[in-house]
A = this chain, B = another copy of it.
Amino acid sequence: MEFLIDERADREDVDVIVCGSGAKLGLKQCETVTKLMISQNPQFVILIGPAQQAPGPKLARKLLVEAGIPTLVISDGPARKLRKDFETGSVGYFIIDADAMIGARREFLDPIEMILFNSDMLKVLAITGVLQLITNEIDQLIQAVKEDAPLKLPQILVTKEQAIEVSSLSNPYAKAKAMAAYEIAKRAATINSQGCFRVTEWQHYTALVASGHELVRDAARMADEAREIDKAGDQVKRSPHYPKGVVGKKVRLIEKPRKVKQET
């Protein structure tokens, strides 16, 4: 995530510090890491993780709000229920239904399976435009900081239509495939959550989470197929950053990007 706004590490107008608590989101871990983060005096903080309704992440948000640090949450489907909470706390958010929960059952999930799931998930979020949507908004926050303007934290329940609109895709069938990929990933969320929370018979839940991971693998394949279509038409849209944070735009592979005047 931290690379999205500085993909070639040559951007002079922004510095990032990343802190995390690994896979765990317990009260203690979240407190430690949030305090670390606050101690760095950041201009704004992006809080990324599932289970925003759990005590750990809740405390993290509370600490950040109390410290007066503008906070943007990026989370998955279950965070829908917290939207009111976020809004009363002036917390920004991206809620991404397609960012499916993993199939966290010991009979199935080992470190390798987990990495493969994340690899596939990343591909889906990148190609369907979700990550571009987030990049665009964060770029605007940075721009506001640079101009000493008030930060307008985005509060977005991501839809596939919004995402695909800002994605790299051009061909209408590529977009239809990307939309399908998005829906498949979203469906995996439901299946994995059934397998993790509702089904208790082990043979059954193992089969379920295995099919949840097949769904995400398939969504990645479909998203990849969409991008390949645009490669075939030499019409992959690209938006690299310049050192001052300005965004470039280009479409043909062998073509220089044109600078886009930064919105302010």
Contact = CB atoms under 8 A, between A and B. Distances in A.
Interface in A92-149: 104-116, 118-120, 122-123, 125-127, 131-132, 135
A3 B123 contact: no
Nearest to A103: B8
B215 A184 contact: yes
B234 A232 contact: no
A3 B22 contact: yes
Contact-size category for A: 35 or more
Given A111-B7, A132-B111, A180-B214, A254 B207 contact: yes
Given A113-B238, A118-B122, A106 B248 contact: yes
* Copies of this chain present: 6
Contacts of A183: 187, 191, 211, 215
Contacts of A204: 161
A174 to B, nearest CB: 8
A42 B215 CA distance: 39
A109 B7 contact: yes
Contact of A218 (B107, B116, B180, B210): B180
A234 to B, nearest CB: 6
Contacts of A7: 23, 104, 109-111, 113-114
B210 A106 contact: no
B123 A111 contact: no
A83 interface: no
Interface string A154-196: 0000000100000110011101110110011011000100000
Nearest to A121: B119
Given A122-B122, A218-B222, 4 more contacts: A7-B23, A109-B240, A180-B215, A218-B218
